[in-house]
């Protein structure tokens, strides 16, 4: 008589094994952050909570178009993307909804999230100065603005102004310096270029290492990736404006979609992403910095040194993006 009972229990456990995750809920996520960076995080959350996560990855503009086209038929509960400029646009296009969460407000500093709660930064990316260590001493470097001075004539390497990272950087310079001064800075940069702007941060780094220029502006994780592969390259990072406004930072981040059918689950997932447990996973995957000030960066990233970051709200990166693009065009920055 015992055997059938045991068999029944085993069978029940098997069935429950399938049923519990369904009860635990599910989420659909559109991610402009690449699959290898987000999948381990989704898997970890599923393991922890049973919540099943479906996802789709694509470029940020494509995902935004898709959300707009799908309207209230969308299956997406969350949008994950990079750059505050892209997050701001998504909010502006009404594909994200406001989320008011004490946990998110506590875990994520003011300047790294939408004042309206429609998007939250989840990792910090520092856009800083990189230099050739054979040609430049760190004491020669000062600020973004200083790269426009005569001293750097034909020594500066930049990525194209078409890239949202540079549009956001110039938008933030606009808030800090006003239009006239910012235009002077950009004109100075253009006058100092040693080569036409490159299509990627990695090409900027490689050309500086090859001696095609002496200094440039890049996101630190590209430096991290390249140095990991080629540790002997004569490159180092410099933290500008440490007596002034600080290093320009941006974020990768997320927001709950306007038509999410699983709003409560989506908010819970967002809150988890801002927690110390998930923050290391999220930032370390791409050698970025956690947004949660309680969490330390990975030791590889920490070894690049501490820096003071610019505290101006990143909402400006989106709001002033058009102005930034216009100004770069006027200044001849291609
Ligand atoms: Fe990038």
**Buried-state track 223-243, b at ≥16 Cβ within 10 A, e below 16:** bbbbbeeeeebebbbbbbbee
Instruction: Give the Å distance between the CA of 272 and the centre of ligand 1.
Output: 24
pTM: 0.92
pLDDT score at 7: 53
Q: What residues form DSSP beta bridges with 157?
A: 216
Q: Ligand 1: distance of its center to the CA of 24 in Å?
A: 34
- Give pLDDT, residue 24: 81
* Number of other residues whose CB lies within 10 A of the CB of residue 171: 28
C-alpha of residue 144 to centroid of ligand 1, in Å:
20
Domains of the chain (ranges; CATH) run 24-124+251-297 (3.40.190.10), 125-248+312-330 (3.40.190.10)
Give the distance (Å) from ligand 1 centre to CA of residue 155. Answer: 24
Which percentage of the chain shows pLDDT scores above 70?
93
Contact 76, 29 (CB under 8 A): yes
- Distance in Å, CA 207 to ligand 1 centroid: 18
List of residues 6+ apart from 187 with CB closer than 8 A? 148, 331, 332
Residue ranges of the chain with per-residue pLDDT less than 50: 1-3, 6, 9-11, 13-14, 17, 19-22
Q: How far is CA 31 from CA 53, 292, 331, in A?
A: 12, 21, 34
pLDDT digits 0-9 by tens, 302-332: 999 999 999 999 999 999 999 999 999 999 9
């Amino acid at each position: 008589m015992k055997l059938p009972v045991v068999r029944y229990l085993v069978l029940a456990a098997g069935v429950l094994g399938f049923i519990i995750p369904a009860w635990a809920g599910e989420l659909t996520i559109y991610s402009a952050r690449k699959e290898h960076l987000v999948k381990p995080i989704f898997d970890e959350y599923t393991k922890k909570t049973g919540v099943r996560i479906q996802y789709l990855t694509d470029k940020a503009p494509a995902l935004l178009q898709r959300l707009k086209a799908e309207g209230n038929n969308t299956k997406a509960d969350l949008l994950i993307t990079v750059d505050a400029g892209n997050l701001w646009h998504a909010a502006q296009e009404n594909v994200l909804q406001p989320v008011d969460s004490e946990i998110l407000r506590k875990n994520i500093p003011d300047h790294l999230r939408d004042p309206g709660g429609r998007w939250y930064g989840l990792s910090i990316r520092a856009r800083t100065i990189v230099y050739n260590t054979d040609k430049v001493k760190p004491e020669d470097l000062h600020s973004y603005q200083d790269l426009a001075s005569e001293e750097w004539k034909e020594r500066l390497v930049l990525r194209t102004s078409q890239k949202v990272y540079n549009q956001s950087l110039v938008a933030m310079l606009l808030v800090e310096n006003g239009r006239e001064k910012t235009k002077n800075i950009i004109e100075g940069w253009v006058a100092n270029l040693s080569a036409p702007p490159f299509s990627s941060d990695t090409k900027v780094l490689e050309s500086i290492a090859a001696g095609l220029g002496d200094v440039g502006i890049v996101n630190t994780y590209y430096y991290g990736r390249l140095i990991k592969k080629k540790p002997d390259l004569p490159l180092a990072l410099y933290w500008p404006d440490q007596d002034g406004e600080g290093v320009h930072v941006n974020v990768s981040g997320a927001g709950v979609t306007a038509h999410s059918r699983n709003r409560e689950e989506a908010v819970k997932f967002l809150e988890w992403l801002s927690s110390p447990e998930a923050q290391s996973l999220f930032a370390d995957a791409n050698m970025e910095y956690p947004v949660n000030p309680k969490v330390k960066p990975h030791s590889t990233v920490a070894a690049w040194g501490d820096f003071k970051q610019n505290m101006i709200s990143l909402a400006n990166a989106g709001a002033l993006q058009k102005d930034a693009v216009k100004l770069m065009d006027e200044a001849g920055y291609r």
